[in-house]
Structure 1
Amino acid sequence: MLELNSITRSFGERRVLHDVSFSVARGRMTGFVGGNGAGKTTTMRVMMGVLTPDSGTVTLDGQPISKDARTRFGYMPEERGLYPKMKVAEQITYLGRLHGLSTERAKANTDGLLERLGLGERANDAVESLSLGNQQRAQIAAALVHEPSVLILDEPFSGLDPIAVEVVLNVLKDYASQGAPVLFSSHQLDIVERLCDDLVVIADGSIRASGSREGLRAEHSGNRYELQVDGDLGWLRDEPGVEVAEFDGGYAVFDADSADTAQRVLRLAMAAGPVKNFTPQHPSLSQIFKEVIQ
């Protein structure tokens, strides 16, 4: 498990990270979300050892992370860092060699990754000749070529079309399934909600929420329910403790002031006729994000 404990970091008089603590579990995909300037990239750079925190620690499986251990990290920065005039496969192989792989192992890993990421036919093309989406795939290959034990990816899905997102996702899931902690940031909340196992929300340099995706949805769900019946639900507007959010004849979404009120509504609906559907509504990641950063 990769853990951050009470990380603070300032640039001059401006404090960028405030007591940041969260964990990235092995074998799970953790989405790291926040607005521009929230502190995501600074946090990732601290995790990679690029920046030193003013206070706090970063540990892996309970131990401080040595320089040698960090060479086993796979890192993809938001800014593309590949050499534009170098051939794709040549560059990825070179980066594998820099991480200590033999030439044969680095080349084999490069060939396999480029095929999986849909770049096999572009292996001998210069990076600058690729589309932005394909450059993004090449950048991901660069982060993975040395068989990292930890993955930290800053906006890995930026510029990718839906098919490419699925391709990259399958590759990342394989690494997670092998026991690697995988942390990725993204502004695309719909993608994060669909892909991740766990979520960390940061705003103004502070962690506002963290936990499993389903756990956070349950925690922030409140008492909103969806109700659908064969008849008419006009009576629901007059029920004490109920506020109707959506209404269309026999369909309604309502907020109840307590679980007991919701159960009373259900009993009344059943007494009036067949109930087709009665379910609690869980908020989307976008709704949770808006709630916790206010």
Structure 2
Amino acid sequence: MLEIKDLHKRFGDTVALDGVSLSAASGEVVGFVGANGAGKTTTMRIAMGVLASDSGTIVYDGTPLGVEQRRRFGYMPSERGLYPKMKTGEQIAYFGELHGMSKAEARRSTAELLEQLNLTGRAGDFVQDLSLGNQQRVQLAVSLVHDPEVLILDEPFSGLDPIAVDVMGTALRDRAAAGAPVIFSSHQLELIERLCDSVVIIGGGKIIASGGVEELKAKEVKQLRIRVETAQDLTADLPGTVTRDGADYLVLGGDDQEALRVAAAAGRVTHFAYDQPTIAEIFREAVTR
């Protein structure tokens, strides 16, 4: 379990973080969501020791996080930290050795990652000659090469095409399946919904919503959608506030059992369920409250 507790950080008169807390358990993928400047990168940099917080703690498995523990983490910054004039395979292995791996271990791990991330054919290419998407894959490989216990990734899917997104998403889910807590930020909210077990939404340096993906969606369920085979217009008969969406009736408020009775009396009910909002819709509502 990685726990970030009550972080505060100011830059001059600007409050960057105001009591930020979040956690990731073993095998859990946590999506960290917020607008530009909300505090995501600052939180991640503090977690990795790149920045110091004004107050608050980072705890890993019940112990305050120190340098030795952070060495076992995998970190992917939003800005690429690669050597452009090194070859891809050599670079990944080099970072493995920096983490204390032997040359043989680093080369073996590099070969596995090149295959997993579809980079085997690029192993001998200089990083500066790769596309931006392939450079992003190399950056992920660098964060994974030492088989980290925890992954903290800042916008890992930025600039990737759909195939590359699938490749990298599978790599992250595989690491989580092996027991690593994973925290990553992204503006691609449909991707957060697809890959993550839980979501943390930050705005103005404060956590404004958090929870499991399905839990958050269930909390925000408000609208009942009814489809019924009938020529009769039920807008005035259904309880609550009723609007139309094509053939469907959208009902807010009112007694759902009464709505079902009215619909069933009018004809054959082919759909009767509450709409679940997307994470994107939940995010938009949370940041505008």
Q: Secondary structure at the match of 1:235?
A: coil
Deviation sequence 1:150-188 (CA, Å, 0-9, x none)? 000011111111111111111111110111000010011
Letter in 1 for 2:250: V
Same amino acid, percent of matched pairs: 51
In structure 2, distance between residues paired with 1:18 and 1:154: 20
Deviation sequence 1:27-69 (CA, Å, 0-9, x none)? 0111111010000000000110111111111101221112100
Spell out the pairing of 1:175-214 with structure 2 (5 A cutoff): 175-214=175-214
Letter in 1 for 2:272: F
Letter in 2 for 1:248: G
In structure 2, distance between residues paired with 1:270 and 1:226: 14
Q: Which of 240, 263, 270 is matched with 1:269 structurally?
A: 263
In structure 2, distance between residues paired with 1:201 and 1:167: 25
User: What is the Cα deviation at residue 240 of structure 1?
Assistant: 4.3
Letter in 1 for 2:280: S
In structure 2, distance between residues paired with 1:158 and 1:247: 35
Contact preservation (8 Å) 2:30, 2:200: yes
User: What is the Cα deviation at residue 253 of structure 1?
Assistant: 2.2
In structure 2, distance between residues paired with 1:122 and 1:35: 34
In structure 1, distance between residues paired with 2:237 and 2:259: 11
The runs of 4+ residues in structure 1 deviating greater than 6 Å are none
Deviation sequence 1:110-156 (CA, Å, 0-9, x none)? 11101110110110110000000000000000000011000000111
Spell out the pairing of 1:47-62 with structure 2 (5 A cutoff): 47-62=47-62
Give TM-score, length-normalised by structure 2. 0.97
Q: Secondary structure at the match of 2:20?
A: strand
Partner residue, 1:235: 234
Equivalent pairs counted in the alignment come to 288
Where does structure 1 lack aligned partners over 5 or more consecutive residues?
none
Partner residue, 2:287: 293
Give TM-score, length-normalised by structure 1. 0.95
Contact preservation (8 Å) 1:233, 1:252: no
Sort the Cα spacing of 1:173 and 1:247 in 2 relative to 1 into closer, same or farther, 3 A.
closer
Partner residue, 1:20: 20
Deviation sequence 1:202-253 (CA, Å, 0-9, x none)? 011100111100000011112x011111114522245442232x3334x222
Letter in 2 for 1:13: D
In structure 2, distance between residues paired with 1:179 and 1:105: 21
Letter in 2 for 1:130: L
